[in-house]
Amino acid sequence: MTTKTATTPNGKTIKVEIVRKVQDKVNYSDGYNVAVSREIIDYTTISLLDETGKVIATGKELSKVFPQFDAKAIEAGAVGKLGNVYLRSEMYNAAATLLAEVEAETPKSDEQIAIEAAQAKAAADHDTWYNSPDAVRSRRLEAEMDRSDSDC
């Protein structure tokens, strides 16, 4: 877990926290805690606090503003959003810079990279099987058998 804060010239504080770890996934089974696999915990929290430390906005990411939805905010000088709060360019840039610094300081572990690669491979294998001719034929046959007018 890495947390970093920065204070802007107008007195507001930007706080970025990134947690990246791998832990046991536990199944609570009849009074026993059984570790069944490993799971990835990976999240980002960006908070904007006022001078007194009260949270103004919080979110998982900095997002863009879109002219079709945020026209009034763009006219007022907004270039991005954190949660539901619009940010001007200096605040957005400060938050983006701090986020990039914390991401650079919090690399993924080798175990996390291996688990993510295995999950991606499993998803690709499933897609390959699901779209195979045998699986398509099987689904068509099952649909035909489930019809009310089927004699199968």
Task: Give residue 152's pLDDT.
Answer: 64
Task: Report whether 56 contacts 50 (CB < 8 A).
Answer: yes
| Contact criterion met (CB below 8 Å) for 8 and 90 | yes
Q: Do 42 and 93 share a domain, yes or no?
A: yes
Domain span at 133: 109-147
Assess whether 97 and 123 both reside in one domain.
no
- 152: in domain: no
77 and 11 within one domain? yes
Query: Is residue 151 scored above 80 in pLDDT?
Result: no
pLDDT digits (tens, 9 = 90+) for 112-143: 999 999 999 999 999 999 999 999 999 999 99
Q: Is residue 71 part of a domain?
A: yes
Q: Same domain for 138 and 71? A: no
User: Does residue 26 sit in the same domain as residue 68?
Assistant: yes
Give 66-119 as a 3 state SS string: CCCCCHHHHHCCEEEEECCEEEEHHHHHHHHHHHHHHHHHCCCCHHHHHHHHHH
With respect to residue 102, please indicate whether it lies within any of the assigned structural domains: yes
**Whole-number Å distance between alpha carbons of 67 and 59:** 21
Are 134 and 98 in a shared domain? no
**Same domain, yes or no, for 46 and 69?**
yes
Would you state the structure tokens that stand for residue 25, as one six-digit string? 């996934």
Same domain flag for 82 and 10: yes
The confidence score (pLDDT) of residue 1 equals 86
User: What are the tens digits of pLDDT across the range 6-50?
Assistant: 998 888 999 999 999 999 999 998 889 999 999 999 999 999 999
Q: Which residues partner with 88 through β-bridges? A: 78
The pair of three-digit structure tokens given for residue 123, joined into one six-digit string: 């998803």
Same domain, residue pair 92 and 142: no
- Give the chain's count of helices (H) and strands (E): 4, 7
Q: Please check whether residues 65 and 123 belong to one and the same domain.
A: no
In the chain, how many domains are there?
Answer: 2
- Closest alpha carbon to 17 in 42, 39, 53, 35: 42
User: Could you tell me the pLDDT band of residue 102, with boundaries at 50, 70 and 90?
Assistant: very high
State the average pLDDT over residues 69-77. 91
- Whether 113 contacts 20, CB under 8 Å: no
Residues 58 and 129 in one domain: no
Share of the chain above pLDDT 90, in %: 83
Asked if 56 and 113 sit in the same domain, the reply is no
| Cβ–Cβ < 8 Å for 58, 45 | yes
